Structure 1
Amino acid sequence: MITPESPDWEQMRRGWNLSVDQQPAAVVEAAGPDQVAEAVKYAATQGLQVSAQAGGHGATYALDGMLVVRTSALDSLSVDVTARTARVGAGVRWGDLQAALDGTGLTGLPGSSANVSVVGYCLNGGFSWFSRPYGSGAGSLRAVELVDAAGERRWIDDASEPDLMWALRGGGGNFGVVTAVELDLHRAPAITGGRLIFPIEQAGAVLTAYGQATREAPDNVTLWAYLAQYPTPACMVDVITPDASSAELEQALSLVRAAGTPVSEVIRPLQPSEVADFNSVPAPPQALSLITSPFQEVTPELIGTLQEYGKPPLFQVVIRHLRSGQDGTYPGVAAADPQAPYLVLAVSIARTPDQQEPGVRALRALQEALSPWSVGQKTPTGLSSWNTLDECYGPNDLARLREIKQRVDPGDRFVGNFRLL
């Protein structure tokens, strides 16, 4: 246990996201699931609430005054290729799991960073390069091992705890400390992907073509578009597929390629291990802020707004193409699989403390400018540190989540990235 009196307290209390100056009461570095259970029992004797972090990507001010349990050491990992399943501990990162899948013809559902924990990602929804054919990370959860409010370890699934499994699939860490999960793996016999980079001056035409390409793309082809400011301003389009034919991939690429003059184009076969780092998201701890906004269509008006507001001090603005209106493999919170087919995600990174406030102001201005096109609820993984869960879940889902929370954790022992009660 690391306390404010410990010499390394300032380093240990912080999460990966340095924009949030989280102030827990103490931090426990658990060596395994049994130590997580002991920490939960200890918290009960001290009247402390508990929140779990692996790498600290979920840092929010909701964790102030908590006993934060770091689960990074829970790194067990096993893959059953025949059953197409994996069991991973709460400390396993997406880069670790994907590396274990090289040569298997299978993939998990990693997002844009290899450094994010598999468990934290799936509990909060999790949008992947392969969400269009296979759904969210939450939708692939088969079973969960958690430490409950009594400090007991137990495995649960849809047969034993259907309501709690529904809540865990996109409802976050408010129901217990998850120490391991079993999840489905998915077919990926021929992963192919790459990036086209255009001069920023061609962004309007490229994003227009991107809109057409995504409307026509089959479900197994995913395209994300970027207005990036660093290291130099550019408009980029990433494409990836787990198994598309060359004709399907070329159809999507040709529309985008013809809209401008690419200064760089690299499309190649990928191993599963390369997918988690596909778009080179920075991994070291950073002061990062973000906003998200789901929308229905890439229109000229929306493109113009993104070009007007998507400039420094913003790091980049991304349009992610999602699937829409399809049921997940397993039942979970609706917000984990939104009905909107697109999502804008904008990021600012403060390299010095004085850059943080201007970056947040720019993000809020973009959020307001996007409001005419915003549809539905925000996504669990896309909440800003100043948002609440009321902006994420619809009233029916929120009421059901709170009822389950009060039933399984009546003392409100556990707090996720955002408070449910």
Structure 2
Amino acid sequence: MTSSASPATSHPHAALRTAVRGRVWLPGDADFDEARLPWNRAVDQPAAAVVEAANADDVAALIRYAGDHGATVATQPNGHGATGRTQDAIVLRTGPLDSITIDPAARRAVIGAGVRSGALQAAAAEHGLTALPGSSPVVSVTGVVLGGGLSWFGRAFGWVADSVTAFDVVDAQGRPQHVTAGSDPELFWALRGGGGDYAVVTAVELTLHDAPEVFGGRVLWAGEHTAAVVAAYRSLTADAPDELTAWLSLAQFPGSDAVVAIDVTYLGDETRARALLAGLDDLPAPVADSRRTMTVAELGNITAEPTDPAAGLSRTELLTALDDDAVATLLAKPVAPLVAVQVRHLGGALGRRSDSPHGRLTEPYAVYLFGLPLGPDVTAAVTARQAELAAALPTSGRKPVTFLAPHETLADALDEASIARLRALKADRDPRGVLRSNFPVR
């Protein structure tokens, strides 16, 4: 199948139209420039061609084509983590690989590479189960897994990748494989947080977790109460059980007054949750409070992140502490020119052993700094403020792979031993460089 645009038969990759069953876009096609765009519109993403795989066989056919023609394949379900490192590459869209199979008795799910978090949550919720979702329901689960993955329930169950039990992949030679810890321990290790540079994942098998009751929501206050809310947040997270997760957000949208919010989830009943959160009731009256008992299919509504493609500039750091000096740094200036400064409580199971490229996440908090690229001057101001905060806060010098910014590399997230191990695997499995991830290991 082809796009409805012009044939572009003279293009070097015109043969893709017959090599795969899915849609193909080539430069010169009327809708090529739209097809090559990533979800994050702030990233300029060049491409030699765009292929939307109809199924796993298409993925294998494309990789064999790339190997035969000296081309490179960059896989991208939708492009939340796009970096623009796709020059001269064929961008592979895996969105149509969206099957979901749930085995409730075994608490197991097998999902296609294009499945979005919200869709998996909806399927799991029907059985009183949950995967490990983050704040957005529209990110691909596979993309999160390949970066390790932080979630609402990471404090209870660890990295998202820790719940993976198997992968279906196509290797750099175009051969399908089923990968487990027993069948290919090195590749299994790498795909659970080392990025997608070593094989193209077409399906993931993962363990689901019991979630018979979940309480969650957002409490929002006017910005004048920020100092009091931050103090309450520090107290709340000082001794929170692993089942409770709380995120603090300082926000100021263009043209609006500053606000402060605490977003929470609790794996348990409302009575116990409200008892744990009682300290928030001593604060000034909030502007809004959406906390309630909910299904795990509704978790994506808590932070109300955009679900349509948009432009954004982000930077994330891991904090070694949220002490008095860190709080003073966060509150010393207005949020603007940033739109949001979010602090996420980590710890719990994330700090325990993990046989993954990142390993244990020992830092107790992460801070996410987000702004909008509203013209050159604003963009410069946003990146400057992000750098200023990163330099002043007590950061550890590393960060989660899924939160890397486009200008960063895997070395900003992983230690030297993991990088060396991943590079050796890349050299062994893909010596010609047929595959290129968002953050190439070499």
TM-score range (shorter-chain normalised) is over 0.9
Contact 2:55 2:97 in 1 (8 A): yes
Tell me the distance in 2 between the aligned counterparts of 1:389 and 1:309. 31
Tell me the alpha carbon deviations over residues 272-310 of structure 1, each in whole angstroms, 9 at most, x when there is no partner: 210133211111111111111111322222112112355
SS in 2 for 1:91: coil
Q: 1:327 to 1:196 in 2, by over 3 A?
A: closer
How far the C-alpha of 1:354 sits from its partner, in A, is 6.1
Tell me the distance in 2 between the aligned counterparts of 1:352 and 1:96. 35
The residue number in structure 1 matching 2:433 is 412
Tell me the alpha carbon deviations over residues 339-376 of structure 1, each in whole angstroms, 9 at most, x when there is no partner: 10110011112356764333223322222232xx0015
TM-score (norm 2): 0.90
Tell me the distance in 2 between the aligned counterparts of 1:175 and 1:195. 39
Please tell me the residue identity of whatever aligns with 1:117.
Answer: S
Q: Does 1:379 align with 2:404?
A: no
Tell me the distance in 2 between the aligned counterparts of 1:358 and 1:326. 33
Q: Does 1:243 align with 2:243?
A: no
Contact 1:208 1:298 in 2 (8 A): no
The residue number in structure 2 matching 1:106 is 129
Q: 1:185 to 1:311 in 2, by over 3 A?
A: same
Matches within 5 A, 1:59-138: 59-138=82-161
The residue number in structure 1 matching 2:51 is 28
How far the C-alpha of 1:116 sits from its partner, in A, is 0.2
The residue number in structure 1 matching 2:19 is none
Tell me the alpha carbon deviations over residues 321-352 of structure 1, each in whole angstroms, 9 at most, x when there is no partner: 112575768621125x5210110011112356
Matches within 5 A, 1:304-323: 304-309=328-333, 311-323=335-347
How far the C-alpha of 1:386 sits from its partner, in A, is 1.0
Which stretch shifts more, 155-164 or 407-416?
407-416
How far the C-alpha of 1:383 sits from its partner, in A, is 0.9
The residue number in structure 1 matching 2:81 is 58
- Pairing partner for 1:275 from 299, 302, 306: 299
Contact 1:340 1:376 in 2 (8 A): no
TM-score (norm 1): 0.94
Q: 1:227 to 1:326 in 2, by over 3 A?
A: closer
Q: Does 1:389 align with 2:410?
A: yes
Bigger-Rg structure (1/2): 2
Contact 1:287 1:351 in 2 (8 A): no
How far the C-alpha of 1:246 sits from its partner, in A, is 2.3
Please tell me the residue identity of whatever aligns with 1:142.
Answer: T
Tell me the distance in 2 between the aligned counterparts of 1:203 and 1:71. 42
Q: 1:139 to 1:13 in 2, by over 3 A?
A: same
How far the C-alpha of 1:416 sits from its partner, in A, is 1.1
How far the C-alpha of 1:223 sits from its partner, in A, is 0.5
Tell me the distance in 2 between the aligned counterparts of 1:351 and 1:110. 30
Tell me the distance in 2 between the aligned counterparts of 1:216 and 1:305. 23
The residue number in structure 2 matching 1:162 is 185
SS in 1 for 2:313: strand
Tell me the distance in 2 between the aligned counterparts of 1:46 and 1:58. 27
The residue number in structure 2 matching 1:222 is 245
Please tell me the residue identity of whatever aligns with 1:394.
Answer: D
How far the C-alpha of 1:153 sits from its partner, in A, is 1.1
Q: What is the alpha-carbon root mean square deviation over aligned residues?
A: 1.8
The residue number in structure 1 matching 2:17 is none
How far the C-alpha of 1:3 sits from its partner, in A, is 1.5
Tell me the distance in 1 between the aligned counterparts of 2:353 and 2:116. 22
Q: Does 1:295 align with 2:316?
A: no
Structure 1 gaps of 5+ residues are none
Equivalenced residues, count: 417
Q: Does 1:262 align with 2:286?
A: yes
Tell me the distance in 1 between the aligned counterparts of 2:173 and 2:333. 49
Q: 1:216 to 1:329 in 2, by over 3 A?
A: closer
Structure 2 gaps of 5+ residues are 1-23
Tell me the alpha carbon deviations over residues 60-89 of structure 1, each in whole angstroms, 9 at most, x when there is no partner: 122222111000111111111111111110
Identical-pair percentage:
37
SS in 1 for 2:148: coil
SS in 1 for 2:368: strand
Tell me the distance in 2 between the aligned counterparts of 1:356 and 1:10. 23
SS in 2 for 1:393: coil
Please tell me the residue identity of whatever aligns with 1:246.
Answer: T
Tell me the distance in 2 between the aligned counterparts of 1:138 and 1:232. 38
Tell me the distance in 2 between the aligned counterparts of 1:276 and 1:313. 26
Contact 1:127 1:137 in 2 (8 A): yes
Which stretch shifts more, 74-83 or 374-383?
374-383
Q: 1:309 to 1:70 in 2, by over 3 A?
A: farther
Tell me the alpha carbon deviations over residues 19-38 of structure 1, each in whole angstroms, 9 at most, x when there is no partner: 11011211111111101111
Please tell me the residue identity of whatever aligns with 2:248.
Answer: A
Please tell me the residue identity of whatever aligns with 1:342.
Answer: Y
Tell me the alpha carbon deviations over residues 193-246 of structure 1, each in whole angstroms, 9 at most, x when there is no partner: 111111211111211221111011101000101001135421100111122562
- Pairing partner for 1:144 from 158, 167, 182: 167
Q: 1:141 to 1:328 in 2, by over 3 A?
A: farther
Tell me the distance in 2 between the aligned counterparts of 1:93 and 1:160. 27
How far the C-alpha of 1:418 sits from its partner, in A, is 0.8
How far the C-alpha of 1:191 sits from its partner, in A, is 0.6
Please tell me the residue identity of whatever aligns with 1:412.
Answer: G
